[in-house]
C-alpha cells in the first residue's frame, strides 16, 4: 500500500505517460520510497519495463521490492 504522497507521485507520472509523454524526470527525497514508487509504476504497465539502477545494492533492492509487493520476478540484463 502506497502512502498518500507516494500515490500522488505515481499518479502524476502515470497521467503523464498516459498523455503520451515519454521523457519524464521525477525526484523524491532520500528515504521516501523511490523503489516502491517506480515498482508501482512498473506494475501498472504490464509487459516489458526497463529499470536502470547504478548500484548492485539498488539492483537487489529493486528485485526484492518487485517480487514482494507485486509478484514480479525481475530478470537482470
Q: Please give the chain's pLDDT, 77 residues, in tens.
A: 899 999 999 999 999 988 998 888 899 999 999 999 999 999 988 778 888 889 999 999 999 999 999 999 998 88
Reference 21, options 12, 9, 8, 29; nearest CA is 12
DSSP helix/strand/coil, 52: coil
The pLDDT value given to residue 71: 93
The pLDDT value given to residue 77: 87
DSSP helix/strand/coil, 73: coil
Amino acid at each position: 500500500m502506497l502512502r498518500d504522497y507516494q500515490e500522488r507521485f505515481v499518479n502524476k507520472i502515470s497521467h503523464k505517460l498516459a498523455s503520451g509523454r515519454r521523457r519524464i524526470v521525477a525526484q523524491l527525497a532520500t528515504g521516501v520510497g523511490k523503489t516502491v514508487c517506480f515498482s508501482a509504476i512498473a506494475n501498472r504497465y504490464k509487459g516489458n519495463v526497463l529499470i536502470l539502477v547504478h548500484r548492485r545494492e539498488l539492483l537487489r533492492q529493486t528485485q526484492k521490492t518487485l517480487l514482494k509487493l507485486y509478484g514480479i520476478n525481475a530478470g537482470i540484463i
